[in-house]
Structure 1
Amino acid sequence: MTTFESFWISCKDGYQLAAQYYPATDHTKKFPILICPATGITKSFYHSFAEWLNQQGYCVLSFDFRGIGQSLHGELKDSNASINDWGLLDIPAAIETLLNRTQAEKVIILGHSAGGQLLGINPDYNKVAKVVAIAGSTGHVKGLKGKTKLLAPLMFNVIFPVSSLFKGYGATQFIGMGENLPKNVAKQWAEFCSKPGYVMNAIGKSIYNDYHQEINCPITSIWASDDEIATQANVKDLLRLYPNATTHLIELNPKEHGYKQIGHMSMFKKSHHKLWPILENELKL
């Protein structure tokens, strides 16, 4: 049985985003959930979790960022999509769509990695009741650990520039880092992670409206102790950008929950469904 409706979201600049909407029948939850994906990850990755949330009574919307998955139109090498576009255009369009579908006053953003890192540049920040950031951090290279600490400089300084030059896109698929990326996304990802503050590194350069100081909705950050990207240092580096928001930190230890590992990606996998009630509990206001 199909549990969702597939359709297109039209952004302010006319770009079309592929989306999936999971309508709730009982409407027991006050705010609908917008799942914002990680860099290079498609909406299909979140399907099982979105379906489960829907069964808990939530209206849920997931989508592909421009340049990724079904929101890539044409050849990847021709895509001009950027992380700026994701925060300035894509997420606001998804918010408006979800509000129109549900007639709710606000949405709750459940953002995975990059999907939970862009509220401060989102012009519709006042339509967000809460953010639950899963593995959300600045990804600052100095705060990384394990193999990723060694891989990231190679990816940012060698693989991205070389693949962008010769192929026209940031090659990530062959190293298991999600879909290959539009060249501007790859370039910004490298720039944003090279210094503390992530998207703050674009303020005054390619982004001119900064809402971080204005945001006062609750922000919960959930990450795993074995996550090599969203380490405690990088999680705190992100949350410090919201001085007027109430922030809550939850670190999950894999062994305490019966898992060998959780890492950066596994919280949304069916194999880790025992963690889902923890995530859902943080959606409550």
Structure 2
Amino acid sequence: MQPCHLTSTGAAIIAARFYEPLGAPKAAVVIGGAMGVKQDYYAAFAQWLASQGYLVASFDYRGMGDSQHRHLRGFHADLFSWTDDFDTVIAAIAERAGEVPLYLIGHSLGAQLPGLLKHRDRIDGLVSVAAGSGYWRDNAPQLKRIVLYFWHVLVPVATALCGYFPGRRIGKVGNLPRGVILQWRRWCLHPRYHVGAEGAPVREKFEAARFPLVALSITDDELMTERGTRVLVDCYANAPRRIERIAPADVQAQRIGHFGFFRDQFQSSLWARTVALLQGFQVVQETP
């Protein structure tokens, strides 16, 4: 693993890690993390992918994890600038990898942003993990019971008092820049999520995406429903796309949930399935 720092828009310094395979890479993979989740969480998965012959990159969005270089009070960032950070990492791994295929594995938020990327044409496939629309009516039942209080009371009050969202202190999501949490709130209160809240410019970017997408929807996800996944997948309106449902019983597990996919107990099942999907993207690309 090689840690490095990349310069994104606005001179933001992004902490990234590159995981090198032993030989020439068969493809490159960028892991886009979930909201409030540091790249540390994906380290075992990234190392395993590298052992399978992939050049892998992970990163922390600006203001998060190793990319937090100052206190978040007064720090300016939103989900568009986080998309710029994603683009920066894609450009860096593409330069390292050369002409091999480049894939994205997006966990939750990491699969919600790729339609906004400037480097959409360089992407050869996206595997979406436990991702979907964040619209509150599409949330899982147990989350739906508290989410309106979260968006209408907790987020605006806590953010106004602190100048950022102090999620770590209150045990919700994690610390987030003010611009990120307030834009995310706006998305989550709109039935069409980001393509609805932001209007035509964002909708048209998603409609311009042509890379294939496979969304892995987890049946015991405590945050995301199958309907929410369908809403997100259909934002990529002109891309080849499908949803695959995964139940814990399919992989001889008691639980997967929203975050369990990246636990190393799933190397021979869910992780191997992901590699099969990446290989499937490549077969389709090479077939006339």
Give the TM-score normalised by structure 2. Answer: 0.91
Q: 1:272 to 1:172 in 2, by over 3 A?
A: farther
Matches within 5 A, 1:1-285: 4-27=1-24, 29=26, 31-87=27-83, 89-104=84-99, 106-174=101-169, 176-204=171-199, 210-273=204-267, 274-284=269-279, 285=281
Distance 1:153 1:272 in 2: 34
Letter in 2 for 1:251: R
Q: 1:56 to 1:105 in 2, by over 3 A?
A: closer
SS at match of 2:229: helix
Letter in 2 for 1:65: Y
Q: Is the 8 A contact 2:195 2:202 kept in 1?
A: no
Give the TM-score normalised by structure 1. Answer: 0.92
Distance 1:108 1:34 in 2: 6
How many residues matched?
279
Unaligned runs of 5+ in 1: none
Match of 2:285 in 1: none
What's the offset of the Cα at 1:179?
2.4
What's the offset of the Cα at 1:104?
3.0
What's the offset of the Cα at 1:188?
1.4
Question: What's the CA shift string for 1:82-137, capped at 9, x where partnerless?
Answer: 112112x1111111000111113552010110111112211111111101111111
Q: 1:126 to 1:210 in 2, by over 3 A?
A: same
Q: Is the 8 A contact 1:37 1:114 kept in 2?
A: yes
Distance 1:279 1:177 in 2: 29
Distance 2:106 2:169 in 1: 25
What's the offset of the Cα at 1:196?
2.5
Letter in 1 for 2:160: L
What's the offset of the Cα at 1:12?
3.3
What's the offset of the Cα at 1:9?
1.2
What's the offset of the Cα at 1:177?
4.0
Distance 2:38 2:116 in 1: 22
Distance 1:10 1:243 in 2: 32
Letter in 2 for 1:225: T
Q: 1:28 to 1:18 in 2, by over 3 A?
A: closer
Percent identity between matched residues is 27
CA root-mean-square deviation: 1.8
